[in-house]
Structure 1
Amino acid sequence: MLAAPAHAAPHDGRWSVVVITEKGSCDQAYRYEVAVNDGKVEYVGREQVNFSGTVGAGGAVKVNIRLGEQGATGSGKLSGSNGAGTWQGTGNSGSCAGRWEAERR
């Protein structure tokens, strides 16, 4: 029996994500380049960032980011070639929160 051909998940590919701080004294914004492969989110940049997460078939996103002692969690949704959501975490200066926006590359 032959296996069914593999198809890319609807949100697979490279994404540029900007993380914007709205509360707290963390840096104002960060930009991350990530790849979604079969619903798994991976960081593809140069910094030593632990970036993990998932994207469901309907576009629901859940991610965790850690850089040294700093860390954040985020959630939101990808739709077509864009996405948006919220995040909260702890930086060098205490607790922070804000929003994120994504664009397919």
Structure 2
Amino acid sequence: MRLNRIGTVICAFVLAGSAAAPAFAQSRYDGLWHVTIVTKTGSCEPTTSSTLTVTDGKISAAGADVTGSIGRAGLVRVSINGAYANGQLSGNVGSGKWNGASAGIPCSGRWEASRQ
């Protein structure tokens, strides 16, 4: 009877450990990021800002068509409403370049990000 209880307790710890395993999948860049986008060439909006969410290394934003990811070393690759960006995060900041179009006219520039 006592061995049965010990087996049950061990089984419960193993199951609890496996249920918590996905939490370890988090990337060190997870969280909210404030991003400022600056246009250098083209007729796109001169400057705009938004907040992006990183969860398990995947990038998303409320109300926007965003797909992208951040690699273990902080390499950023993302598509936002038809524009493409890449760059690098390091600690709580990051920067990079982007390109897209406005009314069919090419635009490009840079972006900067900081963790909220």
TM-score by length of 1: 0.86
Query: Which one has the largest radius of gyration?
Result: 2
1:14 — aligned with what? Answer: 32
Structure 1 unpaired stretches of 5+ = none
Q: Distance in 2 between matches of 1:75 and 1:25?
A: 20
Runs of 4+ in 1 over 3 A off after TM superposition: none
Is 1:60–2:75 an aligned residue pair? yes
2:7 — aligned with what? Answer: none
Aligned pairs, number: 98
Whichever structure has more strand as a proportion of its residues is 1
Query: Quick one: which amino acid aligns to residue 89 of structure 1?
Result: G
Tell me the CA shift for residue 92 of structure 1: 2.3
1:95 — aligned with what? Answer: 106
Is 1:51–2:62 an aligned residue pair? no
Which whole-Å deviations, capped at 9, do the CAs of 1:59-90 have from their partners, x for residues lacking one? Answer: 00000011xxxx21000011101000000011
CA contact (8 A) 1:26 1:93 kept: no
Structure 2 unpaired stretches of 5+ = 1-13
Q: Tell which has more relative contact order, 1 or 2 (C-alpha 8 A, sep 6+).
A: 1
Q: Let me know the Cα RMSD of the aligned residues.
A: 1.5
